[in-house]
Every structure is written in structure tokens, then in C-alpha cells.
Structure 1
Amino acid sequence: MDNETPADHGQLGWTVGTCTCLEGATKGTRLFRVEPGNCANYAMEQASVLLDSARRASFIGVMDNEPVLVWASHYLSDMAKALMDDAHMGMVKNV
């Protein structure tokens, strides 16, 4: 595994760890939270990957009448939003 730190690592800032995603069973609770201290650049890259997966799952789910893929798209989109929002908070804090 490559242990070298990329040159742009942390340039934009770091995740703050306040954004959550996916509703819990109890009203007002959430299942997942973004971890603080992750590189915002990397978080945004991963959000892009999640959104691409969500787009593909949504398209296939609708075209093939597969509701489970549409739900997967919903969950992936929620995760991507949390990552993007948290990275943005870290970028604004870094300015």
C-alpha cells in the first residue's frame, strides 16, 4: 500500500464530522455520521463516486422495474450529500 501523502492532501480543509445521513428507527436519530479529520478533497472525490453509483442504480432501477435499486440510489445520494456538506463546512472553516 502506498503511504505517501498526496500533494493536495488537506489543501481545501478537513471534514468537521457534524453531518449525518440515513434516518434511524427512532424519530430524530441518524444512522451514520461523517468522521472528522478527513481530507475535504478526498471526501468530495468519494461523494462524486457515490453520486455516479446512485445515478446508475436509479437509471437501471427505473428501466428494469427494480425498486430495490431505486432505494439504493436514495441511500447513496444521502451519503454523498452528507460527505459534500461536511467537506464544505471544513472548507469554509479553513478560509
Structure 2
Amino acid sequence: MTTSPTPHVAPLVQSWLKLWNGDFSRAEELIAPNFRVHAALLGGGDGSALSGPQGLIQWIAQTRAVAADLTFQIEVGPPSSKVT
């Protein structure tokens, strides 16, 4: 059995990676208005105060400010043509 992602998933994943790598141009398209962060912030604050696309942008920007050289990417292992 071989597996491959459906064609519409790859652009979505690439847009998500670009968002986390600092390109916020499509945030409004990708993030639901009622999105809520459920995590502690780097400064120790309560992440639940961040919501919607702008909240996620704020969280990502805070993360990137601490680690400016941080790059998100997907690494896939060797392809397997057989699943056992």
C-alpha cells in the first residue's frame, strides 16, 4: 500500500509553514476568527487571551522575536512502498 497526500493538502501545509516562518499575509484565510491559543506564552502570560488570526500572529511574532533564526520545515523520511 502506498500513501500520498491529497493534492489540496500540500498548499495548505505550505501556507501554514509560511505563517510560522513569519509570512502573515494569509493568516486571515488560514485561521478561524474564533481560534484561541491554549498554551503558556513565552513571557509567562496566559495564552487564552490571544484569539483569532491576530492573536496567533502575535504569538508567532513573540516566538520569532526570541528565536529569529527559527525555521519550521517538514522533513519526511525515506518513502516506503509497502506498509506491513
Greater per-residue strand proportion: 1
Rg comparison, structure with higher value: 2
TM-score, with normalisation over the residues of structure 2? 0.28
Return the structure number with greater relative CO, CA threshold 8 A, min gap 6: 1
TM-score, with normalisation over the residues of structure 1? 0.26
